[in-house]
Amino acid sequence: MSTPEPCPGGTWTSPVMMGIVPVKRDNAQAGADGFVRVDRDYVAQAAELARAGGCKHFVLQSSRGANAQSRFLYLRVKGEVENLVQAVGFDRCTILRPAVLLCKRQESRPTEWIAQQFLGVVARVFPTAYSVPVETVARAMVACVLQPGEEKVKVLENGAIHELGKAVPQQGT
Q: How confident is the model at residue 85 (pLDDT cuts 50, 70, 90)?
A: very high
Of the residues 78, 130, 152, 154, only one is catalytic, namely 78
What is the share, in percent, of the chain residues with pLDDT greater than 90? 46
pTM equals: 0.77
Question: pLDDT by residue (tens digit) across 97-143?
Answer: 998 887 776 665 677 677 767 767 776 777 676 788 889 999 999 89
54 torsion bin: left (phi>0), alpha (psi -120 to 50), beta (else): left
- Residue 78 is among the residues annotated as catalytic for this protein: yes
CB 17 within 8 A of CB 51: no
pLDDT over 60 (residue 160): yes
- Residue 74 is among the residues annotated as catalytic for this protein: yes
pLDDT score recorded for residue 163: 92
Measure Cα distances from 171 to 116, 136, 139, 166 in Å. Answer: 23, 12, 10, 12
Of the residues 42, 56, 74, 130, only one is catalytic, namely 74
